[in-house]
Chains A and B, each alone.
Chain A
């Protein structure tokens, strides 16, 4: 009798968890999905709201640094173009660029979008992609480096 009661209790606990946990997980999942558009870490140039909408809010802009677009100004002043291959934004920045910052590599800039459509960055972060390789391999690929880069963008 006692064993049977224990069995029933155990089943009740199982059913309870079986109902509560999936419901809870679904709720969290739906919440996150619903919040997705307002929890963006950075905007791509083509997703960028206009300057009036942002009203001086600090945002992050992410994309690829356009090749040969980096212009060194006076002192540590620097400007470069960021693109998502649809739209391109001019970014100005006064400070030191991170070590991994390079042409045709990912970048995340934090700052404000100005009324003239340029982006004034207060902070620039370099993004790294998921590919790792030894320098010798990269060297031997150098002839095909452009090819490699193109292929990577398509991924």
Chain B
């Protein structure tokens, strides 16, 4: 409990995030540039797919991050809902557009990869369908924040939607085991170790790290912006309430 309260203190958050932000940004840059060159230039082609397999280095981290982002939003929503920590609500809200982007990227790159390997752009296999549902949940979550003007109310409703939607995460993860599907079973996280050589999964992990740091950088940046805007809003409130209101209403 105390740990959560400590994290939720906006002052402390601003102080910690100030020096975490540049570190994350640099790490994201290194991992994405390094991992990208490694993956596209030096990782081997697949014996069946040829160079098509390199879509994996964009597709798989995007799909992972779409789920990781949602998991983070789920935790933040829970904390925000139960303990009423505004910072948690801000974190969940600011993570959502990035989760949406990751999901869209995974769906789009997956579509191209599917066309090149399976022979279709889209088919209703369990994983594709559950990923599309994830995209809709992200969209619905953002719409709630957009259409409900009362921020406290929006936070509660969005948190409930987010927590209910968490059920989709295990469905996505286990869709390939539970149902027969076009997608293959897990290649990396499996009992007998990854079913691809290190020359493939190491650049994949580098890319995944890069995505994670990029996400962290943007999340901190967006959260800091919101907090700064809020502060400015409350400072100007005394002088020009109408302006302060519009600033807060538009950006927070």
Contacts and interface: CB of A to CB of B under 8 A. Distances in A.
A99 to B, nearest CB: 7
Contact of B182 (A28, A125, A134, A138): A125
A120 interface: no
B48 A134 contact: no
Contacts of A14: 82
B180 A123 contact: no
B251 to A, nearest CB: 28
B82 A17 contact: yes
B184 interface: yes
A132 B164 contact: no
B82 A10 contact: yes
Given A98-B117, A133-B47, A41 B197 contact: no
B45 interface: yes
A128 B171 contact: no
Nearest to B164: A24
Size range of the chain A interface in the assembly: 35 or more
B187 A130 contact: yes
Chain B binding surface, main DSSP class: loop
A124 to B, nearest CB: 7
A16 to B, nearest CB: 9
Interface string A115-131: 00000000111111111
Interface in A105-155: 105, 108, 123-139
A103 to B, nearest CB: 12
Contacts of B184: 127-130
Interface of B: 44-49, 53, 56, 78, 81-84, 116-120, 123-126, 163-164, 166-167, 171, 178-182, 184-187, 190, 195-197, 199-200
11 contacts: A13-B81, A17-B81, A41-B126, A41-B182, A105-B48, A125-B123, A126-B117, A132-B56, A132-B187, A134-B200, A139-B47
Interface of A: 10, 13-14, 17, 21, 24-25, 28-29, 32, 36, 39-42, 44, 62, 97-102, 105, 108, 123-139
Which 4 A-B pairs have CB atoms at the shortest separation, nearest pair first? A98-B119, A134-B44, A138-B47, A132-B196
